[in-house]
Chain A
């Protein structure tokens, strides 16, 4: 465990030693803020209209349905762009600079190295999510509807974990960061649009692609519901991504 933490700590520190951490955190916070303001403005306009037509004012409107859910849908798109930047260098850079030789000749198991790298990246994602919460502080101040927010954030953490595990795997395939980024982004895009393909292709395919689509599993979290099937789905997805990473690292050893 201390080995895993040592690697995770080193990973997290290396994100902050390079511009990467600041770029992804800044980009995420900025775009998140933009979506938040845009959706909030729309929400306020809607509620004002409602009160003009004799409604009971903003409070009566469903903040969850009208604000948090659309916000989270947009945030999942951000994940698509930001995550490849987080994972692109994890293995690629170690291979390029030769530090992989230090890791692989130290008394560490592959599992410890992979888990360390994964947790380091997940910690950065956690920090990004924390920073984004500043925008939402106002909703907490009003003291309402904090539960769907918490579940949404749990969902985001898991959703991000899925992308990270895939990104980690892809970064083991090349020592070129740019290639790693492009490949990761392409795969993420595919994982994201898979639902649309399904909706064109008829009901059986549709249910299959809905199951495969990482995004579809997020929906309930946005509604404030923690459904164990979705949690299990995400955890299995992450496990599978890390398993692929382990396989790739191991087969690399035989080829190298």
Chain B
């Protein structure tokens, strides 16, 4: 549905995005993860035809964004970083205008607008001026605007930025609902968002793709070593020595102790499952096994380790901070 090939974008001497490639399949929710200035917005602007790439190409819904912009744009819905609202229009006037320029046929327009207003829960704001909307509602109108022409592809730049927790959950639910008939790319620097909503994630940093995988695989891949948590009833005895002797275990640390129950964090070599041996050791010592579970490294940690790692090639000059929106 979306294919990006060796995309590079330079602003003068600043390289915002360099050699980015990925594919997104139909119906997928694809996450774009990266810190400020990573090049998320730049990539999305290229995909939506707002700016041309310096090199490379992008194909959206079967059309080259650069060679057949009108066809590609017809099939794309876009929510920019700041929802592009006209302050002096009411919500319904605004959506009517957007429906017109997106090519929604006159006969279907009214009904389409009603449907998206219900879907994004803004129907009670239909006659409110856009300038009088709260941040959360602006974001929702932005989303309504992006789906009014029922596009194949939805590109959402930080759709949950600035929303309160309840709105964030609602928005994520909405995005998941939409995924069925739309292919979605969303950018974020909120990590739980990615693991909760996206099927695949690309992590970019300073314009480079650092990793591309499912959230689960990324988590797995990044665990250099695996960590287990066990809780045992030893009647006050120290189990650390016995656990340490299990083949493959590299480190044992007591993490909590309460009412005679002791919890241990056990690190083992990467790719080696020590759960069976652990259970056997506990039982053969006559202790009670109360809990045994893998401790996952949170995506946060992955993210940090990914984006703080240095890229092998020397980087061109990159300015940090807010991009200048020209």
Which A residues fall within an 8 A CB radius of B?
A: 2-3, 6-7, 10, 13-14, 17-18, 95, 97-109, 175, 252-256
Residues of B within 8 A of A255 (CB): 326
Are B103 and A107 in touch, CB under 8 angstroms?
A: yes
| A254 pairs with B52, CB closer than 8 A | yes
What are 6 inter-chain pairs, A to B, with CB distance below 8 A?
A: A14-B86, A14-B89, A98-B80, A102-B78, A105-B73, A105-B78
Given A106-B73, A256-B51: A7 in contact with B88 (beta carbons within 8 A): no
Tell whether B100 is near chain A: CB-to-CB under 8 Å.
yes
Residues in chain A near residue B39, CB distance under 8 A: none
Known: A17-B89, A107-B70. A97 touches B84 (CB 8 A): yes
Q: Is the interface of B mostly helix, strand, loop or mixed?
A: loop
Q: How far is the CA of A108 from the CA of B69 in the complex (A)?
A: 9
Contact count A vs B, C-beta below 8 Å: 79
Q: What's the nearest-Cβ distance from chain A to residue B155, in Å? A: 9
- In the bound assembly, the distance between CA atoms of A3 and B49 in angstroms comes to 18
Name the A residues within 8 Å of B84 (CB-CB): 97-102
Inter-subunit contact A256/B101 (CB<8 Å)? no
Interface bits B75-117 vs A (CB < 8 Å: 1, else 0): 0101011101111110001000110111100000000000000
Cβ B100 vs Cβ A105 within 8 A:
no
B160 proximal to A (CB < 8 A) = no
Bound-state Cα–Cα, A105 to B48, Å: 6
In the complex formed, the residue of B with least CB distance to A7 is: B101
Closest 5 interchain pairs by CB?
A17-B88, A102-B84, A256-B326, A6-B100, A105-B48
Is B258 positioned at the interface, with any CB of A under 8 Å from its CB? no
Q: Is B325 an interface residue (CB 8 A)?
A: yes
Taking a contact as CB atoms under 8 Å apart, the answer to whether B85 and A2 are in contact is no
Does B22 belong to the interface (CB within 8 Å)?
no
| Complex Cα gap A107–B49 (Å) | 10
Q: Could you tell me the distance between the alpha carbons of A108 and B103 in the complex, rounded to whole angstroms?
A: 9
Q: Which of A18, A105, A109, A256 counts the most B-chain CB atoms under 10 A from its CB?
A: A105
